[in-house]
């Protein structure tokens, strides 16, 4: 669905994500709102990704983008190679996702704050994690008891 003020397909759409990445867990999950467009050069949609470690200090992280068609238990395949980011570091690369869900997994290092932008023809929307999601970091769910009325 096209939003007001948004360019129609096939112009580039930007997706901006801020997330906390914890080693061993997926910190970002995106769902594609469009199908793969193979009409351009006989390929799927290329996406231009910029990742930045927005943390200060000596934190580093190794991030891997992966894709799947079943976000709950489906097999994941890597998209591109792993990205190593030092504190304040930035890296830009191109990927070619062909499945419905795109995830960013922290394979080591962290915790760090990730700032990421995806420029693609496909529209990517951020998805939330559930407490029972085996891929989401339990450290990010902080259950607090709310006092009842007096």
% of the chain beyond a pLDDT of 70: 77
Pick left, alpha or beta for residue 21 (phi over 0 → left; psi -120 to 50 → alpha; otherwise beta): beta
> Is 105 domain-assigned?
yes
> Is 144 domain-assigned?
no
> Is 7 domain-assigned?
no
> Is 138 domain-assigned?
no
Those residues whose C-beta lies under 8 Å from the C-beta of residue 39, and which sit 6 or more positions away, are none
**The predicted structure's pLDDT at residue 69:** 86
Higher per-residue confidence, 40 vs 34: 34
Q: What CATH number is attached to the domain comprising 62?
A: 2.60.120.380
**The predicted structure's pLDDT at residue 83:** 92
> Is 104 domain-assigned?
yes
Domain count, the chain: 1
Q: Is the dihedral of CA 39, 41, 45, 50 positive or negative?
A: negative
- State the number of CA atoms in the 13 A half-sphere of 103 facing the CB: 25
Q: What is the largest CA-CA distance in the chain?
A: 66
> Is 139 domain-assigned?
no
Question: How far from 92 is each of 2, 38, 72, 84, 136, CA to CA, in Å?
Answer: 27, 23, 28, 11, 25
Average pLDDT over residues 47-72: 87
**The predicted structure's pLDDT at residue 42:** 45
pLDDT tens per residue, range 132-149: 666 777 666 665 666 767
> Is 148 domain-assigned?
no
> Is 61 domain-assigned?
yes
Structural domain containing residue 111: 13-126
């Amino acid at each position: 669905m096209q939003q007001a003020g948004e360019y129609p397909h096939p112009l580039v759409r930007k997706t901006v994500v801020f997330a906390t990445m914890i080693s061993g867990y997926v910190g970002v999950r995106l769902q594609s709102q469009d199908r793969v467009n193979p009409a351009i050069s006989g390929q799927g949609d290329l996406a231009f990704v910029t990742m930045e470690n927005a943390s200060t200090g000596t934190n580093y992280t190794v991030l891997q983008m992966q894709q799947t068609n079943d976000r709950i238990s489906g097999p994941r395949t890597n998209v591109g190679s792993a990205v190593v980011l030092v504190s304040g570091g930035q890296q830009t690369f191109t990927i070619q996702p062909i499945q419905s869900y795109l995830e960013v997994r922290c394979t080591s290092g962290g915790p760090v704050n990730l700032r990421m932008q995806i420029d693609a023809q496909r529209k990517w929307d951020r998805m939330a994690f559930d407490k029972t999601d085996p891929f989401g970091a339990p450290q990010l769910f902080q259950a607090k008891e709310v006092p009842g009325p007096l």
